Amino acid sequence: MSNVVHLHDSTSRIDQIETEVYETVDRMCLRVGELLWEAKTLDPGNFNAWVNERLPFGIDKARRLIAIFVAYRELPAEKLAQLPRPWQAMYALAPYAQGRLVQALDSGEIGPSTTVEQAKASARHWSSNQRKVDPLTARYTAADNRAGSLMEFRPEDLNPYVLEALKSWLAR
């Protein structure tokens, strides 16, 4: 037997390893997203603190992983086929969390061949075009921060009277 490794054989094995790495990372993204989604539904009020204090990543990455899980769970099959792989979606889905995902898929802005670099560039472009504020001023006011804290909860977690009061306040 010869110890000579043929280039074709090692390249083939390298390709197999690459495929397996991506498949493993895809499964990991979906499973971690599912676990985070479950944790958030169990204790929405403490979710952010729990992530920040006890997990090896921050709330931004947690939200991205949840978005991946939800997108892959809820989108119809024809839209799923248009999504980037789950590990790429961590970057690609971030700027589309506010209802733009289907529109971005339909327009071809993101798709199965979207690379991480393309997704990051698209996210930067989309985010910068959404912010029409003076960069020298504070991005969020105290009212914005309080509203953001409230949005960590589901509407059904509120007392019905408080929910109605908020609806009335927003309608003004």
| Same domain assignment for residues 123 and 169 | no
For residue 109, what pLDDT band results from cuts at 50, 70 and 90? confident
For residue 81, what pLDDT band results from cuts at 50, 70 and 90? confident
| Same domain assignment for residues 34 and 91 | yes
- 55 inside domain: yes
Residue 153's domain comprises 135-172
Six token digits for residue 151: 């949005």
Looking at the whole model, is its pTM more than 0.85?
Answer: no
| Same domain assignment for residues 97 and 81 | yes
- 12 inside domain: yes
| Same domain assignment for residues 31 and 92 | yes
For the chain, the average pLDDT equals 75
Q: Which one-letter DSSP state was computed for residue 4?
A: P
DSSP assignment of 49-93 equals HHHHHHSSS-HHHHHHHHHHHHHHHHS-HHHHTTSPPHHHHHHHS
| Same domain assignment for residues 47 and 109 | yes
Instruction: Report the 10 Å Cβ neighbour count for 28.
Output: 13
| Same domain assignment for residues 11 and 81 | yes
On the question of pLDDT at 75 being above 80, the answer is no
What span, in angstroms and rounded, lies between the C-alpha atoms of 169 and 157?
18
Distances (CA, A) of 125 to 72, 122, 130: 24, 5, 9
| Same domain assignment for residues 54 and 115 | yes
SS3 state of residue 40? helix
